[in-house]
Amino acid sequence: MDGHDADNTKQSTADMTAFVQNLLQQMQTRFQTMSESIIGKIDEMGNRIDELEQSINDLRAEMGQEGSPSPSAPLKAREEPKSAEDS
């Protein structure tokens, strides 16, 4: 019986080892999948932030063009009645 118990113990140990290795492989696969998903979302968020920064810079440029030549704003106001009179 001692030989039979030793065989059962070896088989049980081998089964446990295989189970743990399989479990670790599954965990590693899930971790890799989650890591790739997180990295993808971070990259997407980075792209959105870049687009937002570009939009803000575009708006600033437009405001700068409209706001910097302050004398041209009254000229535009003066031009509008002339064009309305010409019509």
Q: How far is CA 2 from CA 11, 16, 19, 70, 77, in A?
A: 14, 21, 25, 100, 106
Task: Please give the model's pTM, rounded to 2 decimal places.
Answer: 0.53
Digit-by-digit pLDDT tens for the chain (87 residues) are 455 777 888 889 999 999 999 999 999 999 999 999 999 999 999 999 999 999 999 999 999 876 555 444 444 444 445 544 444
Q: Which two tokens stand for residue 50?
A: 């870049």
